[in-house]
Structure 1
């Protein structure tokens, strides 16, 4: 019942996006010394949510039935001219630290939205 509430779906999608983006940041940091490695990041959550918010069914796994659209949350190569090191690596540890803080803020925001929504539901039921 509560999974159909749009704000709950949005908070869940935001938390999932933050987890996937943190994974991309961790992968970039782990490959900071790998020659030829190109830094990756996910598109902004707002862009993904708007593009996927068509209301149609979406497949997140190949086994899903009757879902024509798929969620595209794969990390993309970041185009940062001038950041590439002599060995071809484009990871900047400073930029990755900033991205890590952005991801934490995005995750905290998703939890705050979820918590506030639950408090509103509890209050409407007379249990808050």
Structure 2
């Protein structure tokens, strides 16, 4: 059985992919915390990622790639940056740490939901 054909598994997988990309962008922000002129970045909202994956799947572009991995997660300038410094850098390490923590919690939640759904499907299929 191909689990990526079941919409819940597809959505959970897309969410994990998006959260992974967000954590990468946050890490890049932290790494560039002292770079003059660096603008803090974030990923586009999850809804826009789901729409992009859906459009790519409908057009057949992502058919060869499982779980929508052919669609990159778009990044944008962080609209909610707390402040900037005189060098033009808008990275606030405290804010990035909060975002990293939130992303980690969301990732654990999505992974646990995926695991539980898989266990439920296995239980339904095997009766054990």
**Normalising by structure 2, what TM-score?**
0.81
- Deviation above 2 Å: which 4+ runs of structure 1? 50-55, 57-60, 79-82
2:82–2:92: 8 Å Cα contact kept in structure 1?
no
Gaps of 5+ in 2: 65-69
Partner of 1:15: 16
- The DSSP-based 3-state class of the residue aligned with 2:126 is coil
Provide closer, same or farther for how the CA distance between residues 81 and 45 of structure 1 changes in structure 2, counting only shifts above 3 A. closer
Provide closer, same or farther for how the CA distance between residues 124 and 92 of structure 1 changes in structure 2, counting only shifts above 3 A. same
Q: Within the alignment, does 1:102 sit opposite 2:102 as a pair?
A: yes
Size of the aligned set, in residue pairs, is: 121
By how many angstroms is 1:126 displaced?
Answer: 2.5
Partner of 1:124: 124
Gaps of 5+ in 1: 65-69
**What is the CA deviation profile of residues 28-84 of structure 1, one whole-angstrom value per residue up to 9, with x for unaligned ones?**
000000000000000222342245435513449xxx6xxxxx735132111347611
Partner of 1:32: 33
Q: Supply the distance in 2 between the matched residues of 1:92 and 1:124 (Cα, whole angstroms).
A: 48
Q: Which has the higher helix share?
A: 2
Provide closer, same or farther for how the CA distance between residues 17 and 81 of structure 1 changes in structure 2, counting only shifts above 3 A. closer
By how many angstroms is 1:109 displaced?
Answer: 1.7
**What is the CA deviation profile of residues 5-39 of structure 1, one whole-angstrom value per residue up to 9, with x for unaligned ones?**
11111111111111100000000000000000000
Partner of 1:78: 78
The root-mean-square deviation of aligned C-alpha atoms, in Å, is 2.4
